[in-house]
Structure 1
């Protein structure tokens, strides 16, 4: 990997960190599309690109979401009840999603990613306009919802913020606490997903040097180095911006990512 690519990945990490703190995402919605472009420049084959983008994205999310979660905890932006019941489900779902990703033909993965994100964007736009507040589901149903979130997130190589934030917002959790709680859950999803992609990629032929399964270490370290430094900027912005503005920013961001992935695939 050349110095130019390393600097590009570090710039990507800086942007990811701000968005992670602001929107409660792990950054996978940005990292996965970017890596599908950058990894072939490093000589990685087309057959492995999407799986390595997903695995490496989840590995970066551990550090990005972990840093974001720490900053939100300090700012009082985490709903501990929500986190307690979502975490068991998202961990189980995160690991299941890696089996699905390894089973699905790789040329379908970008389209699946794009359609998942498009659905999330439309749901977020609807929730931004809705004034209806529902009571939180039972602990069991919350954990089951977490499992679904974990499966989809791991399959798309994301930390689940784009699913968790709309889910919590739907049930009346204040937006800044939905964002903070999502960061905690995203870190757990990423750990489960990363371990799964390491396991499924072990011994696969054609992997580049400095890989752990489907995790490409040079890209991981370059992105994580800057992203953990900039999450505090996004977390402070999330505390100051009004809920309606955060929802609209989130939805427009998702629409852009979905469109870019569907067009490229």
Structure 2
């Protein structure tokens, strides 16, 4: 009973933090969700030696409602370029499947290292405010599909990066920033949806079976509680965003994600 109450409190608290930060900074919560969920699952021995894969799958599932809501909101404002979504989405579906197959067949320490490297790259981008110079040639359909495949694969492997890469790619191809952000929401929704489906249909190869109320690598009790709390706190963070310096907060958030990622990597080293 004590463990159950502790789990409920942990997931609700985590969801509240992620929801607040999402509203405050306009960022996804994967950078925080994955390391903390990995710590919880490791301590509770959920997924056995594959607890990092369970953390990735559960984090992706938690992102489905928020990315769906974001996509709908941007669509209502005419900010989603559905023609781009159509072509990039084909690549996302393929890439998500490939990413899940890779993630469920390699050791967690390699996933953790890849996660850390990506978060470091994202933090450098955040601090430098670097943007690629737009090109002059029209956007290529083949390149768009290939980019979608990379985004889907990366999202499945580390539960973050979909919006990050999509916005960079679209602004590089002369898509207006607001439309790039709106379109990235739709791409992100497809990435987390199909990656989650892939993990849900996968069977754990760990020596310890997944607990009750799980679908493949997705631990549903954590999903329900994290999503519930995050949706409640998103409006609070949004209101707070108008009172604080979001640029400084984003940098603090980037540093925090780096530290959590390094902690996760160190804990997985032999």
Question: Same fold, TM exceeding 0.5?
Answer: yes
User: What's 1:11 paired with?
Assistant: 13
Looking at structure 2, the residues matched to 76 and 16 of structure 1 have their Cα atoms a distance apart, in angstroms, of: 27
1:86 maps onto 2:88 in alignment: yes
Moved more, 62-71 or 175-184: 175-184
Give, in whole Å, the separation in 1 of the partners of 2:264 and 2:37: 13
> After superposition, what is the alpha-carbon deviation per residue over 1:37-78, rounded to whole angstroms, capped at 9, x for unaligned?
222343426512101101111111112211222223234443
Q: Normalising to structure 2: TM-score of the pair?
A: 0.80
Q: Which residue of 2 aligns with 1:173?
A: 175
Q: 5+ unaligned residues in a row in structure 1: which ranges?
A: none
User: How far did 1:112 drift?
Assistant: 1.4
| Distance change (3 Å), C-alpha of 1:221 and 1:111 | same
Change in CA separation of 1:121 and 1:146 when aligned onto 2, cut-off 3 Å: farther
The answer as to whether partners of 2:199 and 2:217 remain within 8 angstroms in 1 is yes
**Measured at CA, do residues 212 and 82 of structure 1 come closer, stay the same or move farther in structure 2, by a change above 3 Å?**
same
Equivalent-residue separation in structure 2 for 1:83 and 1:75 (angstroms):
16
**CA radius of gyration, larger in:** 2
Q: Which residue of 1 aligns with 2:214?
A: 211
Q: Which residue of structure 2 lines up, in the alignment, with residue 187 of structure 1?
A: 189
C-alpha distance in 2 between matches for 1:55 and 1:236 = 30
Partners of 1:225 and 1:138 in 2: CA distance: 40
Q: Distance in 1 between matches of 2:90 and 2:167?
A: 17
Q: Distance in 1 between matches of 2:166 and 2:204?
A: 30
Displacement of 1:108 in angstroms is 2.1
TM-superposed deviation, 1:29: 2.0
Structure 2 segments unaligned to the other structure (5+ residues): 266-270
Structure 1 residue matching 2:124: 3-state secondary structure: helix
